Amino acid sequence: MTEERPPAKPTPCPICRKPSTADFRPFCSDRCQKIDLGRWLKGVYAIPTDEPAPGPGGGPAGGPGGEPEDER
């Protein structure tokens, strides 16, 4: 029996739609690879978060449920 596997289709570069190369799959070149990487990073940093980012030394002091301060 001989398996006839279809040849792997060259995935078109998601950036410029050119046939991808083996070196930069699924992109056609390192240029498109970087472009996609840049988009990906942008997307990551552009995600809006409802939670306040915990800054260094900027913790919420005296929040609800904190220490009672009406003791004199």
**The one among 2, 7, 11, 15 contacting Zn ion by CB under 5 A:** 15
Give the Cα separation of 69 and 35 in Å (integer): 54
Beta bridge partners of 12: 19
What is the closest distance, in whole angstroms, from the C-beta atom of residue 10 to Zn ion in the complex? 12
Contacts of 35 (CB under 8 A, 6+ apart): 15
Give the Cα separation of 54 and 71 in Å (integer): 29
What is the closest distance, in whole angstroms, from the C-beta atom of residue 38 to Zn ion in the complex? 13
Q: Judged by CB under 5 A, does residue 33 bind Zn ion?
A: no
8 Å CB contact between 69 and 62: yes
Query: Between 8 and 61, whose beta carbon lies closer to Zn ion?
Result: 8
* Contact positions vs Zn ion (CB under 5 A): 13, 15-16, 18, 28, 32
Annotated binding residues for Zn(2+), as ranges? 13, 16, 28, 32
